[in-house]
Structure formats: C-alpha cells, structure tokens
Amino acid sequence: MTDELSTAERLLPGLDRQLRETGTAELESATSPGLRIFRQAGGPGLVVPGELGGLGASLVDALHIQRVLGARSPSLAVAVNMHVCTVLAMPPCAATEDLLRAVAGDHLYIASGFGEGRPGASVLAPTMRAERLEKGWRLNGAKKPCSLSESMDFLTASVALSSADTDGSEMALAIIPADAEGVSVRPFRSSPVLVGSETHEVVLTDVDVPDECMSLLGDPQSLNAALSTAFHTFELLVTASYVGAASGLVETVLERRRGTAAERVELVGELETVMASLEAVARACELGQDDPAGVARALYVRYSAQRTIERVAALATELLGGTPYMVSGVSATLFSAVRALAFHPPSRSAMADALDRFVLGEPLIIP
C-alpha cells in the first residue's frame, strides 16, 4: 500500500499513525474512537472542492484513503465511505454549497440513508414518503441500516415525492440536520461485525424539510447523471474499503513472514490487481455525467473484487494461524468483515439480468 499510505500522509498527515497506535481491536469496538480521530484530522473535507474550503481530493485519492482506513478499521472505512460518497454525488440544490462549506470548515459528517432494511427491495424504491407542504416537504419513514448514525451532523435521505404534480415515482434526496425535530436513532444491529460503523436505524417522524434542502433525483428507472454518479462513486469506494480490510491481513502476513515467498507475492499481486482496476475505472469516469457504461465497469470490478478479496483473506488468515485467530481476534475481525462487501447494493445476483441485457445493447437499469 505504498501509494495509498503516501496519499494519506499527503492529505491527512498523521492519521495512519494515530489509527495504528489506537489499534484495530479498539477501532472495531462499539466505543470506537475512529470517527472522532478522522474528524480531528480534517477528514470530512477530503473531497470537498478547494474553492469551498475542502482538500479537493480526487476520486483516486479517495480510493487510496478508503483502502488505508479499511486496513486499520473496516468499520471506520464503511462509515467514512458513506460520507465521502454523499459529498461526491450529492445532486445540487440551493443549500448544497453552504452545506459543503460547513462540512469542510467545521468538519461535519453527512450520513447517507438509502437502505430501508427490506430484503430484496431496490434502494431506488424508497418507502419513505415526502408529502408536499406550502414551502417544503414533510417526511415520514425509517432508514436502516444507516452508518454514521451516532456521529452524523446531517442526514441525506432518499424519498418518494407525493404531491399533485407527481405520482410517487419521482425520487429526491432530502438534507436534514441530525438534531432536527422528529429525527431519532434506534438500535438496529446485534452482529459484532463492523460494530464501530455506528450502523443503526434512523427514524423520521413528521420532519419538515424546506424546498432549498431537496435535490431532485428524477425517475429511478432512468440512470441519469445524478444516479450514475451515486452508483459510480459508491461501488468504487466501497470496494476499496474492503480491499483495505484484506490488505490489513496481508500486511500482517508480510510483517511476520508467514507462508512461502510465492504465497506472499500471490496475496500482494491479487490485491494490487484489484486496486489497479479500481483506479483505472476511477480515472476514466466523469462525475456528474450520464454514464451507464462507467457504472457497468464499476460493477464488473466490484463483483470480481468480491471473490478475490474473499480468497485473499482466507489464505492470509490461514497463514497467520489459529492462535492469532482465537487470541487477539484481529484476524478474525478482518476475515469476517471482508465478506460484507457482498451485502452492499446492488447485489451480484440482483444485477445479473440487467448487466446481461446491457451488454446486448439495452439500457442499464438498476433493479
């Protein structure tokens, strides 16, 4: 991870050292200080444009940071990933520029609420409704799983618009202060995996949102510029996060000289190949454009990476041995975490038919 560590030190100096000193076990706990450390390092402004007071990091830079975070704490990488993707992909509205200035200047976190905990349901078919008011919208519903739910300063939530002008098929993204009246957080998870990501259920009860804090996403059946950017950035960055988790295991294998030279080189080569593919897709994409081919490439790389990092994590954990697995728990934590990439939307099985039709020339539709 030489390039990735150099990027981290250039943009967020001292962050990796502090995360290493804290240790993966503490960073993966329910009381993890990871998000506090990242905030203090100036991380929330990472991809905010320089003219708005941010660090102006590129998409490739963001990939590097996510890999480093994943190697130190998969929970931290997953939580930060949602913030970074939201900042990169947020469709413009009247409040966007002021919000991004505040994110960079005050180190604020933005949580992303798209999932609603309905197995097999599309993230592009929200049940959270927005009812038209005279000068805004009233929101009701729940988002789960929602990372960053305890540390968020703002929540962005996908909603279906209900008004005389729509039939409920139009989507929008609402920007909501975390301390707004009607916003509450409820425990959602009991699994110990990724517990440091603050993934819970966020409930909205009669939450009023002004027009200037609503960004229109259009018809979810059309992979327009806003949705293309959202899927493009998410698939690349979330994959880099789990490449990082596998990298944490491989780093330990290298430090302890476990296995043979051939096995160690194989592990490194597998992960570097995945990372090179992610970087290539990132460099080719133009955010803010209608780019279904780019989204498809990001999905191809992500699905291929899933199997690669599972294979790498399994071999690395085996080479580290049973005692570290049972005693320290760190290798068990990282080994369990990498499997979670398969659970992020859209799943490989859900996209199979859509991608099969796309390669034959049909429009790409995210089911």
Q: Is 361 helix (H, G, I), strand (E, B) or coil?
A: coil
219 — pLDDT class (breaks 50, 70, 90): confident
Q: Which two tokens stand for residue 140?
A: 């009701």
Answer for the pair 302, 340: CB distance below 8 angstroms, yes or no: no
Tens of pLDDT, residue by residue over 24-53, are 999 999 999 999 999 999 999 999 999 999
Of 166 and 97, the structure prediction assigns the larger pLDDT to: 97
Together in a domain, 340 and 229: yes
Q: Is residue 279 part of a domain?
A: yes
CATH of the domain at 19: 1.10.540.10
Q: Is residue 364 part of a domain?
A: no
pLDDT at 157: 96
Together in a domain, 155 and 276: no
CATH of the domain at 262: 1.20.140.10
Interval 135-164 mean pLDDT = 92
Together in a domain, 207 and 269: no
Instruction: Count CB neighbours of 265 within 10 A.
Output: 12
Together in a domain, 63 and 12: yes
Exposure letters 346-361 (e unless 16+ CB within 10 A, then b): beeeebeebbeebeee
pLDDT at 223: 82
pLDDT at 165: 62
pLDDT at 166: 56
Q: Chain centroid to CA 293: how far?
A: 21
Q: Is residue 366 part of a domain?
A: no
| Integer angstrom CA distances of residue 355 from 123, 252, 286, 294, 330 | 17, 37, 21, 12, 37
How big is the chain by its Cα radius of gyration, in Å?
Answer: 20
3-class SS letters over 316-353:
HHHHHCHHHHHHCCHHHHHHHHHHHHHHCCCCHHHHHH
Answer for the pair 111, 147: CB distance below 8 angstroms, yes or no: yes
pLDDT at 125: 86
Interval 302-324 mean pLDDT = 93
Together in a domain, 244 and 288: yes
Together in a domain, 232 and 352: yes
Q: How far is residue 57's CA from residue 196's CA, in Å, rounded to a whole number?
A: 25
Q: What is the mean pLDDT of the chain?
A: 93
Q: Which two tokens stand for residue 351?
A: 């996209």
Q: Is residue 35 part of a domain?
A: yes
Q: Is residue 367 part of a domain?
A: no
Q: How far is residue 107's CA from residue 55's CA, in Å, rounded to a whole number?
A: 12
The pTM (predicted TM-score) of the whole model is: 0.95
Together in a domain, 245 and 335: yes
Together in a domain, 338 and 236: yes
Q: How far is residue 282's CA from residue 63's CA, in Å, rounded to a whole number?
A: 9
CATH of the domain at 186: 2.40.110.10
pLDDT at 327: 62
Structural domain including 33 reads 2-92+99-107
Together in a domain, 192 and 243: no
Q: How far is residue 86's CA from residue 109's CA, in Å, rounded to a whole number?
A: 10
The total of structural domains in the chain comes to 3
Answer for the pair 148, 156: CB distance below 8 angstroms, yes or no: no
Interval 155-165 mean pLDDT = 83
Q: Choose among 57, 84, 87: nearest CA to 70.
A: 84
